[in-house]
Amino acid sequence: MIRNRRKPQGRKRAGNRRKLCSKRSRERRRTEREREKLRKMSLRFGKTIAPNFGRAFENSKRQLTRHPYLNYLRHFKSKHPHYGFTRILHEGAKSWKRLAPIEKASFSQKV
């Protein structure tokens, strides 16, 4: 006659239990991780990581390009370092159209 025996249970591991923490602290840690991930992605400047993407543009010793619009976008990015790529292009184009021709001339290459 075969009995229904209980299977022997192994030792319980302490590491398998989830830590008890508040919903707010979990949410805060998650947002911090996302912020750090976005910061690392946005700080790429060439092959090195710059402490601030906007300042890196502003302080770079690169010559101005022949295209004043590209020089303006570089300047715009330095003023708004938290904007993403598409937002820089969108907002930069709008503000470029609003500039006076004299202001636009200041972004052209001085030969």
- Co-location of 45 and 87 in the same domain: no
Query: How many alpha carbons fall within 13 Å on the CB side of residue 11?
Result: 3
Q: pLDDT tens-digit profile of 16-56? A: 566 677 888 889 999 999 888 777 766 655 545 445 555 55
- Co-location of 92 and 39 in the same domain: no
Determine, yes or no, domain membership for 4. Answer: no
Q: pLDDT tens-digit profile of 50-83? A: 455 555 555 555 667 788 898 899 889 888 888 8
Among 77, 72, 74, CA closest to 96? 72
CB 72 within 8 A of CB 93: no
Determine, yes or no, domain membership for 9. Answer: no
Among 84, 79, 83, 74, CA closest to 107? 74
- Co-location of 58 and 100 in the same domain: yes
Determine, yes or no, domain membership for 12. Answer: no
Among 20, 21, 109, CA closest to 63? 109
Determine, yes or no, domain membership for 94. Answer: yes
Q: How far apart are CA 35 and CA 47, in angstroms?
A: 21
- Co-location of 75 and 44 in the same domain: no
Determine, yes or no, domain membership for 15. Answer: no
- Co-location of 44 and 76 in the same domain: no
Q: Which sign, positive or negative, has the C-alpha torsion 66, 98, 90, 57?
A: positive
- Number of domains comprising the chain: 2
- The residue range of the domain holding 38 is 21-50
